[in-house]
Amino acid sequence: MLSFFKDYKKFAIVFSIISIVIIALIYNTLNVYKPLNIYQPAMVSTELVDSTIQYQKKYHKIADFSLTNQNGKNITHNDYKDKIYVADFFFTTCQTICPIMTDHMVEIQEKIKNDDEVMLLSHTVTPEIDSVAQLKRYAKQKGVMDAKWNLVTGDKKQIYELARKSYLAVKDNEFGGQFDMIHTENFMLIDKKRQIRGFYDGTNAEDIEKLIDDIKILKQEYAK
């Protein structure tokens, strides 16, 4: 009888070790690091992309830019050099999806406020209305942290071209002028090489959670 229990104890120990190894292998298999997509114009709905680049399949990057933020400071692509950032398009007088989008940006801001590697960038689609003073009022109302988040205005043509040719994020306004646009609910995740790594519904809480998780995945990419 004693011999049986000794043999059983050995078997239990061996079985436990094998089980741990198997569980670890399964866990590692299910949690293999998967890099985020690098989005090209050809991968995005044509209604969001300028006709000149709709079928481009590689080498797409965010263009150089020079705009003005809520403090009257000139903001360029150099302010986002070597940064991961979340971008969107909005306007301060929007009463539909913008308040939800902005609240979700505030949520992201809270998550990244102590992370020097990540920033936010919101472009107005109505620069004729959204002056520096108007953006400043909006920023104060929403709790924007100047060091983390720029709300930018500027030349309408430049913003339009950024939206259509760089961020692939807005629709043409067929009832407006040449550079009038209809913004979408899209948030874009941009990497340190100015490549688009993700699109998210800025009005959807689950998409915001995924965006926050994807920022972590992107940071892992640079940590390797």
Write the pLDDT tens digit of every residue in 95-126.
999 999 999 999 999 999 999 999 999 999 99
At 11, is the pLDDT very low, low, confident or very high (cuts 50, 70, 90)? Answer: low
- Let me know: does 119 contact 78? Beta carbons within 8 Å: no
pLDDT tens figures, 14-71: 555 665 545 544 444 445 668 999 999 999 999 999 999 999 999 999 999 999 999 9
Residue carrying structure tokens 């992309």: 49
Question: What's the CATH number for 41-223?
Answer: 3.40.30.10
Dihedral sign from CA coordinates of 207, 96, 67, 73: negative
**Looking at the DSSP assignment, which residues form a beta bridge with residue 189?**
86, 198
* Dihedral in degrees, nearest 10, Cα atoms 163, 138, 78, 209: -70
On the question of pLDDT at 5 being above 60, the answer is no
The model's pTM is 0.85
Q: How far is CA 13 from CA 1, 2, 51, 66, 126, in A?
A: 19, 17, 66, 66, 69
Q: For position 9, what pLDDT does the model report? A: 55
Q: For position 32, what pLDDT does the model report? A: 62
Q: For position 10, what pLDDT does the model report? A: 55
Domain boundaries, the chain: 1-32, 41-223
CA atoms of 55 and 36, how far apart (whole Å): 21
CA atoms of 68 and 74, how far apart (whole Å): 5
CA atoms of 150 and 168, how far apart (whole Å): 19
CA atoms of 213 and 90, how far apart (whole Å): 23
Kindly state the percentage of the chain with pLDDT values over 70.
85
* Helix H or strand E encompassing 187: strand 186-190
Q: For position 45, what pLDDT does the model report? A: 96
Average the pLDDT over 66-92 and give the result. Answer: 98
Residue carrying structure tokens 């590692």: 28
CA atoms of 130 and 91, how far apart (whole Å): 7
Q: For position 107, what pLDDT does the model report? A: 98
Average the pLDDT over 87-99 and give the result. Answer: 96
pLDDT tens figures, 168-195: 999 998 888 889 999 999 999 999 999 9
pLDDT tens figures, 129-151: 999 999 999 999 999 999 999 99
Q: For position 7, what pLDDT does the model report? A: 53
- Residues 6+ away with beta carbon under 8 Å from 219: 84, 117, 118
CA atoms of 61 and 42, how far apart (whole Å): 13
